Every structure is written in C-alpha cells, then in structure tokens.
C-alpha cells in the first residue's frame, strides 16, 4: 500500500452489479416454465414473485412447482397458481444469527427480507449463513494512536498490541472480520508502528492480506484514509484499532448498501443518569421536578462504512476526523446514516477498560 498526498486517485468506477438476490425476482405474469428456468439459473433455491416496484407477492420453490404439476398444471400454467402468498419473511433489522436460527427451526433454505412497505430488500440463504461469502471489500483499521490514557502500558507497546485474552486487541479485530469473509486489510500506523508491522507482517499467518498505511504525523481517522492508494473500488469498512465488539461487519456493510448510503456510522445508545434531582423552571417559577433523570443519546461506536466517492471531499494529508467528514458529505448532499448497534462493545481507551476487557476474555470470564 503506497501513500502520499500527491498520489493520483483511481477514476470513478462503474456502479456495482445488483445484489444476487435480484436475479430471483419474477413478475406475476411468469409461468411455471419461467420459474424453473429461474431456479436453475440462479441456484438460489427460491424465486420471489413481486411487482415491478419490488413489492412482495409471494415465493415459489422447486417443491411448489412439483406439487402444481402433480395437481394437473403444465409448464405454461401461470405462476400465481403455485405461489405461497404469505411466505415467512423477516425485517431488515433482524440480525444474521437470528435469521439463521429461524431458518433452522423452520427447516427453510431461504427467507426473503422485506421492509415495512413490503418491498423486497434482500434474501437470507441458509448455505451462505452457514458458510460466509468471501468479501472483496477492504477493511481499514486505525492503529496509529499513542494510547496516552493507558500509560505507562503504552510507553513501549502500541495500544493495538496490548494483550487481551492472550492475544493483541488488533488480532481480535482481524480474526473476527476474517470469520465473516473479509481478507483484505489496511492497517494505519504511526506511534510504534514498526512493532505492529513486525507482529502482523503481510497477514499470511492469519490467512489474510495486510498492507500498511504509514502516517508521518497523526491525521485523524478520515485524514488517514485520504492517503489510500489505490482508491477502493467498492464500499469499505473503517474500524478503530482499540475496539472489542461482537458487531457483525458483514451486516453493517450490507445495511450500508441496502440503504444506498454514501457513509454509515455505527452508533450505540448511551444512557447517563443525572446524579441530582433536576428542577424545571420558567423564569423564577418552579414548573416541575425530575428525580435523577436518565439522558439517552446515540454515540459514535468507531466503526464505519464509506463509499469510495466519499473520499472526494478529503484532501490528501489533511488532518480530519470522521465527524467532520460526515458533516462535509452531508453539506454536499450525500446520504449519511447510522447503524444502531446492540452488540457488546468496549472501547479500550483507559486502564479500567483494559481490565474489563481482560476479565471478559479470561477463561472464567
């Protein structure tokens, strides 16, 4: 991975091909012959019958077609004769593990993903849930910070190499992402970066490919990715290098693509209880009391997905953080969205965070 503020960028790429599940779509005017051809061509084991606006009308499987033929239908018979008009569907927010369990319990090989307007937005396939796809998307991990709040532990060791459960924090991130099909990583390094590079090398030990983006001076998360060269050709992930979380990066990426966003930020709901009773006033008049109210807000979880075009608002080598990047994108009309997280998450930024992480990953934790 070369870098430099004057390095040329790749030309804009053509739009990515449509999601594979779209090949399974059939209109209600289709015939049994059309459905058989579709099932053979896609190998998805299901055909989705929908309107031109992709509103779900039903599903058809090989078994449905065979039952129709046994009942006297022929290959030219309308597909509506055999469709299941009320198939089992799931909403977009249902996670991978929950979908997998639902399919196992019901013995289904495929379940359509349908939004509130009953539009088809995806398709869960049992085989792919059991064996994650190889993801060509790049994952950038920010591992260049000094970890000042963790000193003296970080005096001679970069924070991403601090051990948790017998292996560095950064290794946990890479191994978890690899289990979801990600194999291409760029690690941004600065403080004691050579130690990170010496430990991980080219990634072959973990059966992944790791390259390095070496910051001459701290540039912030967004500033560092402005140096990517070559420029990614597909949506790519960015993660802070001090996070321990069960978030599924593949689901975050799919969420980003499904919502046609230019930038997606994973967020967590943070609750804070006021330590005192709050007095509500209007001028000098008391209008009410709130006893130790709880404030709730979404906070940045340090994991993102960006389209390559998001890099257009950055200048190579310029100091820039991710909130600033999102604001710039919003100003030029790019859609920026949040991905609400509910999974366990820990930002290992302080000594007590590290102690908590080590306790969570201990043999008895």
Using one digit for the tens of pLDDT, what is the confidence trace for 313-363? 988 778 888 899 999 999 999 999 888 776 766 666 566 656 666 666 655
The 10 Å CB-count burial string (b at 16+, else e) for 161-191 is bbebbeebbbbbbbebbbebbbbbbbbbbbb
The reply to whether 262 and 353 lie within a common domain is yes
Shared domain for 164 and 78, answered yes or no, is no
- Indicate whether 7 pLDDT > 50: no
Query: Which domain does 332 fall in, by range?
Result: 135-360
- pLDDT higher for 251 or 309? 309
Strand partners, 280: 288
Is residue 31 one of the residues assigned to a domain? yes
Would you give the distance in Å from CA 314 to the centre of its chain?
22
Which residue, 118, 60, 129, 63, is CA-closest to 89?
118
| 195 & 303 share domain | yes
Tens-digit pLDDT profile for residues 24-54: 889 888 998 888 888 888 877 788 998 888 8
Confidence at residue 229, expressed as pLDDT on a 0 to 100 scale: 84
Q: What is the distance between the alpha carbons of residues 239 and 241, in angstroms, rounded to a whole number?
A: 6
* 54 and 182 fall within a common domain: no
Kindly report the average pLDDT of the chain as a whole number: 79
Write down the pLDDT at residue 308.
92
Task: State how many domains the chain has.
Answer: 2
Q: Are residues 125 and 142 in the same domain?
A: no
Q: What is the mean pLDDT of residues 121-129?
A: 76
Local structure of 26: helix, strand or coil: strand
pLDDT at 18: 42
State the pLDDT at residue 3.
38
Q: The whole model's pTM is what? A: 0.62
Is residue 5's pLDDT more than 60?
no
């Amino acid at each position: 991975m070369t870098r430099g503020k004057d390095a040329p960028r790749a030309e804009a790429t053509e739009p990515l091909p449509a999601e594979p599940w779209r090949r399974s779509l059939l209109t209600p005017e289709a015939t049994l012959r059309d459905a058989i051809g579709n099932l053979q061509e896609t190998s998805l084991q299901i055909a989705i019958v929908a309107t031109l606006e992709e509103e779900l009308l039903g599903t058809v499987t090989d078994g449905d077609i065979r039952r129709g033929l046994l009942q006297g239908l022929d290959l030219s018979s309308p597909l509506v004769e055999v469709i299941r008009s009320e198939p089992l569907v799931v909403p977009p927010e249902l996670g991978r593990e929950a979908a997998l369990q639902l399919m196992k319990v019901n013995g289904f090989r495929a379940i359509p993903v349908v939004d509130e307007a009953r539009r088809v937005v995806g398709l869960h396939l049992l085989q792919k849930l059991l064996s994650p796809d190889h993801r060509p998307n790049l994952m950038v991990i920010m591992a260049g910070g000094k970890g000042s709040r963790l000193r003296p532990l970080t005096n001679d060791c970069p924070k991403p190499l601090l051990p948790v459960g017998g292996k560095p924090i950064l290794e946990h991130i890479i191994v978890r992402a690899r289990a979801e099909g990600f194999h291409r990583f760029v690690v941004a390094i600065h403080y004691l970066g050579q130690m990170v590079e010496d430990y991980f090398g080219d990634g072959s030990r973990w059966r992944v490919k790791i390259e390095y983006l070496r910051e001459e001076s701290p540039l912030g998360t967004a500033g560092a990715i402005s140096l990517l060269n070559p420029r990614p050709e597909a949506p790519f992930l960015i993660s802070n290098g001090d996070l321990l979380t069960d978030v599924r990066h593949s689901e975050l990426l799919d969420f980003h693509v499904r919502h046609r966003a230019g930038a997606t930020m994973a967020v967590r709901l943070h609750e804070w209880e006021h330590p005192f009773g709050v007095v509500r006033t209007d001028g000098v008049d008391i209008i009410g009391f709130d006893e130790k109210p709880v404030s709730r807000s979404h906070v940045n979880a340090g994991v993102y997905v960006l389209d390559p075009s998001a890099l257009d608002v950055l200048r190579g080598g310029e100091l820039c953080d991710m909130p600033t990047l999102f604001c710039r994108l919003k100003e030029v009309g790019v859609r920026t969205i949040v991905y609400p997280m509910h999974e366990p998450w820990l930002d290992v930024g302080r000594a007590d965070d590290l102690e908590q992480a080590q306790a969570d990953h201990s043999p008895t934790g």
